[in-house]
A and B are shown apart, each in its own frame.
Chain A
C-alpha cells in the first residue's frame, strides 16, 4: 500500500498523559499537513511541513502540541498533558504541493481523552 498511513488508528488516554501519533506520507510528497477534526465539523489545519521544515502552525496548536518531521519523511505529532478537549480525529495528509493536485489523507488517529 503506497498511500498515507497513520498509527495508531485509535488511542484512549487518561487526562494529563502524553500521546504521540505517527504519519507516513506518500514517499515522493514533500508537503505534509496535520489536521484536526471534531465531531460534526470539517478538518481544521494544524501545521504544515515542507520537507523537514515546519513552516506554519495554526493558532489552534497550543504549546502542548509539537510536531516533527525528521529527514523529511515520516512525521510525529505529540500532545503533552492531554485534556478532554483534545479528543478528536487527527488526520495527516501529504501532497506534491501544486495548486491543482489533491492532498491524500490517511485514515486518521481517533484520540479519546478520559
Chain B
C-alpha cells in the first residue's frame, strides 16, 4: 500500500485565489510527522510546513496552512492568496520513528504540479 498518496497530478489556479493540495497517508504508528515541500524547476526541495501527529492545532506558516484530519489520515496543504511564484511541484512526505538505527527517513508522495495563472 502507498504510504503517501497525492491524487492530483496537476492543478491550475487563478492568481490570488486559495488552493488546496490533497494528501492522504497510511501508517500504523501513533507517532509520526507530516511535511510539505515545494520543488521549483531549479530542483531544490524547500520545506514549507510541518504537522506532528500529536499536535492539537493545525499548523500554519504564513500563507501556508495544513488541514490535518487525523481520523481520515489526511494532511492537505492550503495556500492562501496564491502568487505566480507558487508555481512548482508540491510534495507531501511522512516521517515515522524507526526503532532500527534511528533512520527517520522521509517517504514522499508523487507530487502535485501547481500552476498559477495570471
Binding site for B on A (CB under 8 A): 31, 33, 40-45, 48, 50, 55-56, 89, 91, 93, 95, 97-100, 102-108, 110
- Give A56 Cβ to nearest chain B Cβ, in Å: 5
Contact: B45 with A43, CB < 8 Å?
yes
- Give B53 Cβ to nearest chain A Cβ, in Å: 9
Q: How far apart sit A56 and B65, CA to CA, in the bound complex (Å)?
A: 33
Contact: A50 with B102, CB < 8 Å?
yes
Contact: A55 with B103, CB < 8 Å?
yes
User: Can you pick out 21 interface pairs between chain A and chain B where the beta carbons lie within 8 Å of each other?
Assistant: A31-B102, A42-B4, A42-B109, A43-B108, A44-B108, A45-B107, A48-B105, A50-B101, A55-B103, A56-B105, A89-B43, A93-B106, A95-B104, A99-B33, A99-B104, A102-B35, A103-B106, A105-B45, A107-B43, A107-B44, A110-B43
Q: In the complex, how many residue pairs between chain A and chain B have their CB atoms under 8 Å apart?
A: 73
Q: Give which listed residue, A33, A50, A100, A108, contacts B44 with CB less than 8 A.
A: A108
Interface residues of B, count at CB 8 A: 30
For B33, the chain A residues whose CB sits under 8 A away are 99-100
For A45, the chain B residues whose CB sits under 8 A away are 105-107
Q: Give which listed residue, A40, A44, A91, contacts B45 with CB less than 8 A.
A: A91
